[in-house]
């Protein structure tokens, strides 16, 4: 049964009248409910914090209930995974303020990372006279070697740079628009 925000607020207010933690029982958190009951809502501080966080607490419980009632074949387990899969199944994202903290995206979308990586690579190429290596990109940008290589190969396939091989056998990526007029390597 869907939990209502107004009921949660009403039950939380009871904590100020000596019956703390009832809202926690209502929201499927019996252990913290007992703790609140015996400590007066963690001496009132926990109840005040819960009043501020109440929309998130109710949304989290409603997602858990929705997942519990969903078809087990969907493979929904755990709060963060459940929230993400439910949002995907519903074909829309919930506003970030309504997502429980554990369900908030930990990393930006791949396209944002790719744009950031591209910018970092171009900055490095500019500093290095238009020439970089995979190791240089990984070292200077903090990207893992595999991702640095993937990004450089993507830029090469798109025609933004070309690959050459240095005397030591390293792949060197040349960005003609950022090339220095002075030689990079001397023989």
Q: Is the pLDDT of residue 85 over 50?
A: yes
Q: How far apart are CA 184 and CA 167, in angstroms?
A: 12
Q: Is the pLDDT of residue 81 over 60?
A: no
Residue 184 lies in a domain: no
List Cβ neighbours of 101 (8 Å cut-off, separation of 6 or more). Answer: 56
pLDDT tens for 3-62 read 999 999 999 998 888 888 899 999 999 999 999 989 988 888 988 999 999 999 998 888
Per-residue confidence (pLDDT) for residue 76, from 0 to 100: 46
Tokens 């607020």 found at: 9
Token digits for 119? 């910018």
Q: Specify the number of domains making up the chain.
A: 2
CATH, residue 124 = 1.10.10.10
Per-residue confidence (pLDDT) for residue 26, from 0 to 100: 93
Range of the domain at 169: 110-178
Q: How far apart are CA 48 and CA 96, in angstroms?
A: 22
Q: Which one, of 101, 100, 95, 6, lies nearest residue 62 by Cα?
A: 100
């Amino acid at each position: 049964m869907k939990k209502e925000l107004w009921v949660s607020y009403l039950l939380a207010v009871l904590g100020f009248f000596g019956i703390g933690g009832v809202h926690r029982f209502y929201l499927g958190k019996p252990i913290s409910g007992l703790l609140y009951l015996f400590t007066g809502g963690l001496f009132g501080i926990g109840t005040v914090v819960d009043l501020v966080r109440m929309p998130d607490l109710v949304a989290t419980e409603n997602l858990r209930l929705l997942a519990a009632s969903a078809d087990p074949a969907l493979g929904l387990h755990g709060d963060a995974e459940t929230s993400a899969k439910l949002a995907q199944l519903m074909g829309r994202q919930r506003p970030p303020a309504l997502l429980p903290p554990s369900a908030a995206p930990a990393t930006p979308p791949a396209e944002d990372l790719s744009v950031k990586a591209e910018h970092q690579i171009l900055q490095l190429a500019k500093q290095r006279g238009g020439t970089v290596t995979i190791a240089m990109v990984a070292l200077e940008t903090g990207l893992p070697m595999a991702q640095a290589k993937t990004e450089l190969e993507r830029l090469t396939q798109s025609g933004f740079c070309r690959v050459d091989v240095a005397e030591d056998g390293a792949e060197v990526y040349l960005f003609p628009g950022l090339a220095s007029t002075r030689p990079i390597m001397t023989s």
